[in-house]
Structure formats: structure tokens, C-alpha cells
């Protein structure tokens, strides 16, 4: 994220009349620090996330267009303990203004203040705090723990719009906060940020601890039920491990782990399906299992019994429960 020398608060300096644009100007403030996440690199901004190419023209390694808003979001952090951090949609440009154009979703609140949303929206997903009883939770119940919300320019929390760029905002999510927690996800519509606190990072495992856990998992010598050979989960993906008979794969439909084989493969009209030889459930894809060695993304050094869907990175239960916004498999 980008850090500015002086922190700011925002104030509307023009009135909202129907389809008019809105300009919000920043003012210096002494008790908080401001960070900004944008897709445009200017001298005062240090972090400019770029979305994945979507078929548009590319110059060098940098896409010309991005779904991330030009000035995507702001994070304000209190300088005093406990250093509370809050997320706001839209960021200040080099003139220290936020501008919402005619087509942006905007409204006047009951207190007379103007608020709005960026074109593609800034979404927030707070983590579910891991509890021991979660180990026995049903998967469908686990999915209810994760609810994406949208953040407004003024920091309000709203339910999602019908479509990402709809001009009609969602309902106000009463009682919910824009205060960031350890493990909060921030979706910029093209890049997703993971918020970690200093306290949370202090509890994250070291690379050595992750390697020990991975060695323990591989020491169990998991076996492919078809080829009957031992499988080894690699530390990272590479062309060398992809072609190895020891590379484990997970079936999307059921989560069973096996080696690479052609048993149960049915390729009709270039639409392959894979039948699991253990439970006979069909899957649209099989994905390599691999270890993610970035310790900042792991919340503890627990047993690597789970994996993310659809990337196949293995992790502990605590990491899945806090970071999972889609789905996962229990190995």
C-alpha cells in the first residue's frame, strides 16, 4: 500500500444534484496515517496493483487496461494503540481529490452527507475467527462464515449489488464495520489484498516450520490407488514436478488425492471429465497439490490436511477458515 507523508480526512466540497459528479477533497489530520491502493503509479503512491490481463493489449509486462479503479481504495490507520485500520472506497489523486463521475453510484444519506461507490466496487470479507469446535463443522455451515460486502467512499458497509457495476447499491449491512482484521480480504476487482496485522504475522509459521510440516505429510507415504506408487507433494509448482509420476492431484468433485493416470478419463467433444476410482464421482478437472511456502499466508503450523479450491495449495484448518472465500477440500 502507499503511504503519504500526511494523513487526511475527507469532506464534500460540492453538493450532489442528481447526475452531477462529486469531488471530495482531503484535509490534513494528525491522529491517523493514510495508505492508498491504486492501479496508477504516481510519485506519492508506492503500491499500484495491476489486474490480470483479460485479452487486452499488453506493452511489455504491463496491461494497458485494468478492471481495478484508477484510484481504488484508502486505508486509514490510527497512530495510537491499538492502531485501528479502516477501509474506504476510492483514493485521492495527485491533486488530493476524490472524483466520482456522473455514472458512479452515489446518494445523499439521512444526515445530509454524500456517499458513493466506485464503478466496479471495493469488496471486503472479514475472517471467521477459528475455534476448536470448527473442526467438526459441516462444510455447508463453513461456507456461511464467509460473506462479501461492499465498502462505500465514506466507509459504509453494504450488501453486494446485483452485478459488480450495477448503478443500484445493495442494502446497508447494519452493525457491520469497515475495520480491518487479521486475515481480512480486500477485492479491488482485478487484485485481492490480504490484510495481516503485526500480531497476526508474529504467530505465522516460519519457512522452516512449513517445511517440517510438509516433510511430515510426505513421510506418511500417501499412495496412488491406481498406479500404487508413492506420492510426494512438492514445495512449489514447476514443469519438472508436473510430469512426475509422484505428483499428487486432487479431484475437484470429491477431493480424493491420486497420482496422474488415465483411468476414468472421458474426453468427449474436448470436454474431459474424470471419474474418481475411489468414490466414482465425476469431476470437471483434476488439480496439482502443491505447498505454498509463503509463510505470511499461513496462520499456524498445524497439520496440512486441507487445500484451496481451485489452486491446490495445501494448508492447515485455521488458515482455510480465516482465508477461504470460495471453497476447499479436506484431504
DSSP per-residue letters across 78-100 = ESSTT--EEEEES---TTSEEEE
Q: Is the pLDDT of residue 45 over 70?
A: no
pLDDT of 178 = 96
Predicted TM-score (pTM) of the model is: 0.71
pLDDT of residue 8: 35
pLDDT digits (tens, 9 = 90+) for 9-33: 334 433 444 444 444 444 455 666 6
Do residues 274 and 255 lie in contact, with contact meaning Cβ atoms separated by under 8 Å?
no
| 63 pLDDT above the threshold of 80 | no
- For 186-209, letters b (16+ CB in 10 Å) and e give bbbbbbebebbbeebeeebbeeee
- Longest pairwise C-alpha distance within the chain: 71
What pLDDT score was predicted for residue 90?
A: 87
User: Is the model's pLDDT at 51 over the cut of 60?
Assistant: no
Structure confidence at residue 249 as a pLDDT band (50, 70, 90): very high
Q: How far apart are alpha carbons 321 and 330 in whole angstroms?
A: 12
Distance CA 213, CA 199 (A): 22
Q: Using an 8 Å Cβ cutoff, are 9 and 55 in contact? A: no
- Per-residue pLDDT, 145: 63
CB 240 within 8 A of CB 220: no
Which residue reads 470448527 in cell numbers?
134
pLDDT digits (tens, 9 = 90+) for 127-175: 865 554 455 555 556 566 678 999 999 999 999 999 988 889 999 999 9
Helix or strand run (H / E) with residue 217: helix 207-219
Tell me which DSSP letter residue 104 carries: S
**What is the percentage of the chain residues whose pLDDT exceeds 70?**
69
Q: All 3 cell numbers of residue 286?
A: 483434476
Condensed to tens digits (0 to 9), the pLDDT of residues 87-120 reads 999 887 777 777 776 778 888 888 888 899 988 8
pLDDT at res. 71: 75
**pLDDT-derived band of residue 295, with 50, 70 and 90 as boundaries?**
confident
SS3 of residue 161 by DSSP: coil
Contact by Cβ (8 Å): 26, 10: yes
- Is the confidence at residue 248, as pLDDT, over 60? yes
Output the pLDDT for position 67: 64
* Residue 232 clears pLDDT 80, i.e. is over it: yes
Q: Grid coordinates representing 154? A: 465514506
The mean-pLDDT minimum among 64-73, 103-112, 213-222, 279-288 falls in 64-73
Residues 6+ apart with CB under 8 A from 227: 245, 259, 261
Cα–Cα distance for residue pair 176/178, rounded to 1 Å: 7
Amino acid at each position: 500500500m502507499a503511504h503519504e507523508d500526511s494523513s487526511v480526512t475527507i469532506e464534500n466540497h460540492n453538493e450532489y444534484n442528481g447526475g452531477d459528479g462529486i469531488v471530495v477533497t482531503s484535509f490534513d489530520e494528525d491522529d491517523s496515517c493514510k495508505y492508498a491502493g491504486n492501479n496508477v503509479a504516481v510519485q506519492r503512491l508506492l503500491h499500484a496493483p495491476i489486474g490480470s490481463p483479460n485479452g487486452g493489449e499488453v506493452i511489455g509486462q504491463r496491461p494497458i487496461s485494468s478492471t481495478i479503479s484508477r484510484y481504488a481504495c484508502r486505508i486509514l490507520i490510527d497512530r495510537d494503540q491499538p492502531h485501528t485500520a479502516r477501509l474506504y472506497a476510492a483514493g485521492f489523486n495527485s491533486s488530493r481529490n476524490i472524483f466520482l463521475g456522473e455514472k458512479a453510484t452515489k446518494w445523499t444519506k439521512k444526515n445530509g452527507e454524500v456517499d458513493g461507490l466506485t464503478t466496479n466496487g471495493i469488496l471486503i470479507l472479514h475472517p471467521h475467527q477459528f475455534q476448536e469446535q470448527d473442526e467438526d463443522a459441516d462444510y455447508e455451515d463453513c461456507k456461511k462464515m464467509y460473506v462479501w460486502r461492499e465498502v462505500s467512499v465514506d466507509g459504509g458497509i453494504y450488501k453486494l449489488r446485483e452485478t459488480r457495476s450495477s448503478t443500484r447499491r445493495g442494502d446497508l449491512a447494519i452493525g457491520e464495520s469497515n475495520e480491518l482484521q487479521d486475515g481480512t480480504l480486500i477485492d479491488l476487482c482485478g487484485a485481492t489484498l490480504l490484510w495481516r496485522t503485526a500480531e497476526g504475522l508474529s504467530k505465522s509459521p516460519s519457512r522452516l516450520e512449513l517445511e517440517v510440516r510438509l516433510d511430515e505429510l510426505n513421510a506418511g507415504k500417501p499412495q496412488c490407488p491406481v498406479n500404487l506408487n508413492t506420492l510426494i507433494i512438492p514445495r512449489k509448482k514447476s514443469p519438472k514436478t508436473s510430469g512426475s509420476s509422484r505428483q499428487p492431484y486432487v479431484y475437484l468433485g470429491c477431493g480424493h488425492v491420486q497420482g496422474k493416470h488415465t483411468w476414468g478419463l472421458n474426453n468427449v467433444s474436448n470436454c474431459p471429465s474424470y471419474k474418481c476410482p475411489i468414490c466414482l464421482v465425476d469431476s470437471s478437472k483434476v488439480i496439482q497439490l502443491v505447498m505454498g511456502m509463503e509463510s505470511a499466508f499461513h496462520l499456524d503450523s498445524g497439520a496440512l490436511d486441507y487445500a484451496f479450491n481451485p489452486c491446490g495449495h495445501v494448508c492447515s484448518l485455521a488458515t482455510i477458515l480465516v482465508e477461504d472465500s470460495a471453497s476447499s477440500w479436506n484431504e
